[in-house]
Copies of this chain bind each other. A is one copy, B any other.
Amino acid sequence: MEFSSKLLENAVNEMSQLPGIGKRTALRLVLHLLKQSENQTVTLAESLRKMREEVNFCSNCHNISDTKLCEICANPNRNEALVCVVEDIRDVMAIENTSQYKGHYHVLGGKISPMDGVGPGELTIQSLIDKVKNGRVEELIFALSSTMEGDTTNFYIFKQIESFNIKTTTIARGISVGDELEYADEVTLGRSIVHRIPFETSLKN
């Protein structure tokens, strides 16, 4: 792509570094900005820069937060003995949306993935183990996605905390509510039969 302007070229090149955005899409986005008021671009640029420079992570759960302790960790009505281990803030938002969980979170910041150069040291695993060591945790809920990386991460953490004798659970895998059995994949359907629950329990929610 040959550009008639260096300024335009720089902007397009920077935009196309974002995941899923190629050169053509980047050009479309940048030309859109040129058609809008100057103010919109300045606000966008400023909000990105400010977010990146001033971002803060909760000292307890490592979730993105504007305060030292995030709202969830600072809330006295939430059970700090119950800790749900998730990959990133999107998982926290998804679980919070259900309004079904009143415990704390622990945001790992990723999954162990040697192929991508992510080892246990890159994640907040040590801080989780320290939390368990301090005896403040009664139950750890693994809520990582069930991929090879997720399972590896779960197992790595489990091995590290096994000796502390706390309860460890994992979120239930099964057929989605409203789904037809015939379209479910075999692994999920198989698990949902093996891990069946008492009918009375299912009525409660």
Partner of A48, one of B44, B64, B96: B44
Chain A stretch 71-126: residues in CB contact (< 8 A) with chain B: 71-72, 88-90, 92-93, 96-97
Task: Find the residue from A28, A32, A41 having the highest chain B CB count within 10 A.
Answer: A41
A194 CB-CB contact with B under 8 Å: no
Chain B residues with CB under 8 Å of A29's CB are 18-21
A50-58, A162-170, A182-190: which lies at the interface: A50-58
Tell me the minimal C-beta distance from A45 to chain B in angstroms: 4
Instruction: Knowing A33-B52, A46-B45, A66-B7 are in contact, say whether A28-B19 is a contact too (CB < 8 A).
Output: yes
Asked if A30 lies at the interface with its beta carbon under 8 angstroms from chain B, I say yes
CA A32 to CA B29, docked complex, whole Å: 18
Residue in B17, B32, B54, B89 whose beta carbon sits within 8 Å of that of A19 in the complex: B32
Contact of A52 among B21, B38, B65, B71 (CB under 8 A): B38
| Given A18-B32, A33-B48, A40-B17, residue A55 in contact with residue B97 (CB < 8 A) | no
Report yes or no: B14 in contact with A43, Cβ–Cβ below 8 A. Answer: yes
* Contact residues in B for A19 (Cβ distance below 8 Å): 28-29, 32
CA distance A131 to B4 in the complex (A): 22
Closest to A97 in B: B2
In the complex, how many angstroms separate the beta carbon of A129 from the nearest chain B beta carbon?
23
Contact B31 A88 (CB under 8 A): yes
Any B CB within 8 A of the CB of A152: no
Output the nearest chain B residue to A107 by Cβ-Cβ distance. B4
The answer to whether A51 touches B10 (Cβ under 8 A) is: yes
List residues of chain A with CB under 8 Å of any chain B CB: 1-8, 10-11, 13-15, 17-21, 25, 27-34, 38, 40-56, 58, 63-66, 70-72, 88-90, 92-93, 96-97
* List of 5 A-B pairs having minimum Cβ-Cβ separation, nearest first: A41-B52, A45-B45, A11-B51, A45-B49, A14-B44
- The contact sample of 5 A-B pairs, CB cut-off 8 A, is A15-B44, A34-B55, A34-B64, A41-B51, A45-B49
